[in-house]
Amino acid sequence: MSANSEGSTKAIFYALGANGGIALAKFGAAFFTASGAMLAEAIHSTADCINQVFLLVGLKEAKRAPDASHPMGYGRVVYFWAMMVALLLFFLGGAFSVMEGVERLKHPEPLKNPIVAVVVLGISVALEAFSLYGAMLEIRKIAGGKSFFRWFRETRQSELMVVAGEDIAALAGLAVAFVAVVLSVLTGNPIWDAIGSIIVGGLLMAVAFFVIREVKAMITGESAAPEVNEAIRKHIESHPHVDHVINLITLQWGEQLMIAVQAKMQRQGSDQALIAAINEVEESIQAQWPQAKWCFFEPDVDTTTDQSYNSTV
């Protein structure tokens, strides 16, 4: 298991353990308090638990060996499961919460035992903060000093991105639910609880939208992160057998990477010498980036800079 995969798995288990306990506590509180906002939060935590199971399934499937039908392996299957998670977060978490809030607006019910809701929300905040802390630890290990928002936009680790997004949405939702319950108690008006449920649902759908947008880009086919692309280009051009890179294409394939290089080579004495030079460059790339499982190298002339270049092979 790679370091990145191990970090993602840790973050998922942090989240699964935290959300399992939170969901049970919230359902109990929703039952005793008749709070719509609390029920919305309970449904959200249940959806999060299902989501984490989906992500673990995706990571396991991604490790399947290549076969005749999938010669490049199953690495990108994690993107499918990440999309399933985002859709579940949107519909089961967000849309259900909004529907529940609208229903409570039409038929408001007074809260019962509000102290129970407050205590459970406090415990939930602590557990959710623990889950987010675990995810942020893993993100900091791989972010290379980037801000969280930049990392979120540029990362190719869909599973870790989803966990972080879920945790942020959960903490924001808990804060809204807490305020809604307190306002309902202080004013004696259960409408605040219904409004809280709608706002929680809106937050979940907003986070799900951003996650869906990022995962869609991964499914469509994204290059490696910009700094990785640049580092690969500089590494190739620093090799003594390479004059310069004409074109470089990278494609993220789950944890693995596909690299296609079109480069102008230094003159070689024979076709065998050119082949040996290309193999040497490819080996150096894969030594530097072990995740680069596929490396396709094409020697060519750069007609934009050298019309007269002609290989002796």
pLDDT computed for residue 157 by the predictor? 78
Tokens in use for 283?
């080996």
Residue type, 129: A
Transcribe 177-234 into DSSP letters.
HHHHHHHHHHH--THHHHHHHHHHHHHHHHHHHHHHHHHHHHHH---S-HHHHHHHHH
Assess contact for 280 and 253: CB atoms under 8 A.
no
pLDDT computed for residue 14 by the predictor? 79
Mean pLDDT (10-residue bins), the chain, 313 residues: 64 82 83 75 80 86 85 84 83 81 82 78 82 84 83 80 83 84 85 87 86 85 87 94 93 87 91 92 93 90 59 40
Q: Give the pairing type, strands 242-253 and 256-265.
A: antiparallel
Neighbouring residues of 62: CB distance < 8 A, sequence distance ≥ 6: 73, 74, 75, 76, 77, 78, 254, 255
pLDDT computed for residue 5 by the predictor? 60
Residue type, 52: Q
Q: Which among 214, 114, 210 has a CA at the least distance from the CA of 169? A: 210
Tokens in use for 247?
């074109």
pTM: 0.70
d(CA 125, CA 147): 24
Q: Half-sphere exposure of 206 toward its Cβ, with a 13 Å CA cutoff?
A: 11
d(CA 310, CA 300): 9
Residue type, 78: V
Assess contact for 177 and 37: CB atoms under 8 A.
yes
Residue pointed to by tokens 């319950």: 181
Neighbouring residues of 165: CB distance < 8 A, sequence distance ≥ 6: 152, 207, 210, 211
Q: Half-sphere exposure of 229 toward its Cβ, with a 13 Å CA cutoff?
A: 15
Assess contact for 223 and 252: CB atoms under 8 A.
yes
- Contacts of residues 230-234 at CB distance under 8 Å and 24 or more positions apart, as own/partner, are 232/259, 232/285, 232/289
- What backbone torsions phi and psi does residue 256 show, to the nearest 5 degrees? -90, 170
CA pseudo-torsion sign 201, 19, 139, 51: negative
Q: Which among 168, 163, 132 has a CA at the least distance from the CA of 52? A: 163
d(CA 88, CA 165): 13
